[in-house]
Amino acid sequence: MTNVTLGLAGAIGHDPAAALIVDGQLVAAIEEERLIRRKHAKNEMPYLSARRCLQIAGLRAEDVTHVAIPYAPVSLFSRARWHYAYRHWYAPDRSIDSLFNGNRRYRRYMKELRSLLYKLHISPNKVKLVSVEHQLAHASSAYHLAETDDKTAIFCNDSKGEYAAIFLGSGHQGKIKKIKRFYSPDSLCGMYAALTDYLGFEILDGEYKVMGIAAYGDPDKYDLSYLARFDGKQFKVDTRLITTIGLRRYKAKSKGHYFSAKLVEKLGPRRAGNLLEDPYVHYAAAIQKLYEDIAIGLIENYLGDILKDTGRLAVAGTGAMNIRLNQRIKSHPLVNEMIVHPGCGDPGTAIGAAAYAVREEGIKIQPVNAMMLGPSFNTDQCVNACMMHREKPQWEIIDDPHEAAAELLSNGQLVAWFRGAMEFGPRALGNRSILANPTQMGIADAINQQVKFREHWRPFSPSILDSVAAEMLPDNGQDEFMLFNTPVSRKWQEQYPVIVYRDGSTRAQVVREQNNPDFHKLLTRFQQKTGHGLLINATLSRPGEALVCTPEDAVNMFMGTDLNYMIMEDVLVTKREISDDW
């Protein structure tokens, strides 16, 4: 009998997603935000994404045999609920609720899940429902999709699931074993989120800006070590200052923040002006350093013996999107091989929950080498999107879209590139991208003026041919999913300054023909024309919007920016008449 497991994320109130594994093969995965066009899709269920996953696989609702969710009930006798109650004594309503009604959210979610399944025409009585603890789902997404015979250390660094925020364990022969958990409010991601909020950014979206600006500050100018400590046994966040709830929260303009008034007394007013100014730029550097130091301490303390034995480490959870921490972990002398799941945030728990459920059935998960797991569209659908758009863009079917794009890029034009299946995860990996020539003078300003409106201090990420990466990047810095912050030699820094951070590093995607032949072909054509085997690669989206999914999304985005050229499958789209030489 065919095993068809549908994974559904979204129990914690944001980032719903669906994933489908058929007989151990991940065949589809989609984030709901891409379909409803609302970033993070808060308080939504993964209805459209589940439907689309089934469509991609060519399956019907009645074919589903298992449904897996990344959320599970927690026993009253678990340390988790008592820890939460004890650490939130100052908010007695929350404290008492965790003891006497600690699975309230789970029960509410199960009710919503049943409604979702009926809406999908999946009978809850005819499928096996598997509840997977949230951090186990994160762990599975990294470990089971890259499983080997070697024992693997596992580090999940997350904001919060049911109660656990940090999971340290091991994976061997398909089984995941717990070594240590830390529970909310003692969360590394929570600590980082609190400073993100204090520094004037939105939680869930601003953390990467704090990480980026950290390179401009002096981490030793201000000591933030009092915010959290790890003494080899206990990790504890100071809730008098950060990760606060209830009356402890700092309030401004009727909005409660994730830190207290006492933090403002210690650090000064919440940032409202230039982030590059003292003290805020140095606070960013200091919190990044503290974040990394504690994470390294946890890994060494609880996973050191496994790493000494095999050197293999799997990392997942929202915190795994911090590429600077990833690179520091990867450079650790005990780590020989590091696996980071490309969808390491909460949408990836749809994949992780499904993988965990499938592995519990004794079925091995086939290795995943690419994350193009969403819908794809043909040329006729792209033409129709152009014809139906109210602003009537100019379009033309072309014989060689790769040659056309390479020509435009070599002439200094920006190109919106929409081909193949949509990516899963936070990165554009060459199927839904805005591309640019990294050697073009003023190209960063052009991208910002035409579409992205990013802060001037933020560099762009490159996609690099594997043959070029062998010369440009160190062996341990070659990654296909833009998950690491990699040092770049002085020669390459001088040649491609627009893709280099202040500290001389970059976040690069190495493109291999076997994993993405279409994008590899474009990079090869560009190299043949210019001698440069790399392109700037930014997400095909406007600021604050989800990555585009459909041709209609792409045309809407294109017409709402100052971009002049877009290639969708075999269609060249412009805003003016197409000349013979473009």
Specify which residues 8 forms β-bridges with: 18
The DSSP output letter for 372 is B
pLDDT confidence band for 424 (50 / 70 / 90): very high
pLDDT of residue 577: 60
pLDDT confidence band for 10 (50 / 70 / 90): very high
Give the least confident one: 179-193, 434-448, 474-488, 540-554. 474-488
pLDDT of residue 453: 78
Is the pLDDT confidence value at 446 over 90? no
Query: What would the mean pLDDT of 424-433 be, rounded to a whole number?
Result: 96
Instruction: Based on the fold, state whether residues 87 and 225 are members of the same structural domain.
Output: no
Residues 517 and 421 sit within 8 Å (Cβ to Cβ): no
Q: pTM for the full model?
A: 0.95
Distance CA 443, CA 540 (A): 16
Residue 534 in domain: yes
Query: What would the mean pLDDT of 124-143 be, rounded to a whole number?
Result: 97
Residue 565 in domain: yes
For the stretch 351-374, pLDDT in tens is: 999 999 999 999 999 998 899 999
Q: Can you give the C-alpha Rg of the chain in angstroms?
A: 24
Q: Is the four-CA dihedral 343, 345, 350, 355 of positive or negative sign?
A: positive
Instruction: Based on the fold, state whether residues 332 and 350 are members of the same structural domain.
Output: no
Residue 513 in domain: yes
pLDDT of residue 349: 97
The CATH number of residue 248's host domain is: 3.30.420.40
Distance CA 323, CA 334 (A): 19
Is the pLDDT confidence value at 445 over 90? no
Is the pLDDT confidence value at 143 over 90? yes
Residue indicated by tokens 């493109």: 511
For 322, residues 6+ apart whose C-beta sits below 8 A from its C-beta are 192, 207, 208, 211, 288, 291
The CATH number of residue 423's host domain is: 3.90.870.20
Give the least confident one: 282-296, 459-473, 534-548. 459-473
Residues 573 and 395 sit within 8 Å (Cβ to Cβ): yes
Question: What value does the mean pLDDT of the chain take?
Answer: 94
pLDDT of residue 48: 98
Q: Torsions phi, psi of 472, nearest 5?
A: -85, -35
Instruction: Based on the fold, state whether residues 258 and 306 are members of the same structural domain.
Output: yes
Distance of CA 521 to the CA centre of its chain: 26
For 80, residues 6+ apart whose C-beta sits below 8 A from its C-beta are 74, 162, 163, 164, 181, 183
pLDDT of residue 461: 93
Distance of CA 144 to the CA centre of its chain: 18
pLDDT confidence band for 575 (50 / 70 / 90): confident
Q: Which amino acid is at 576?
A: R
Instruction: Based on the fold, state whether residues 278 and 401 are members of the same structural domain.
Output: no
Instruction: Based on the fold, state whether residues 419 and 542 are members of the same structural domain.
Output: yes
Instruction: Based on the fold, state whether residues 292 and 355 are members of the same structural domain.
Output: no
Q: Torsions phi, psi of 139, nearest 5?
A: -60, -45
Q: What angle do CA 218, 221, 227 make, to 5 degrees?
A: 105
pLDDT of residue 160: 85
Length of the chain, please?
Answer: 582
Distance CA 404, CA 495 (A): 25
pLDDT of residue 473: 84
For the stretch 66-80, pLDDT in tens is: 999 999 999 999 999
- Going by their DSSP bridges, the two strands 462-465 and 509-511 should be labelled as parallel
Q: What angle do CA 459, 461, 467 make, to 5 degrees?
A: 135
* Domain containing residue 95: 4-70+73-131+346-360
Instruction: Based on the fold, state whether residues 450 and 560 are members of the same structural domain.
Output: yes
Is the pLDDT confidence value at 545 over 80? yes
pLDDT of residue 219: 97
pLDDT confidence band for 476 (50 / 70 / 90): low
Query: What would the mean pLDDT of 58-69 be, rounded to a whole number?
Result: 98
Instruction: Based on the fold, state whether residues 217 and 80 are members of the same structural domain.
Output: no
Is the pLDDT confidence value at 1 over 80? no
Distance CA 450, CA 448 (A): 6
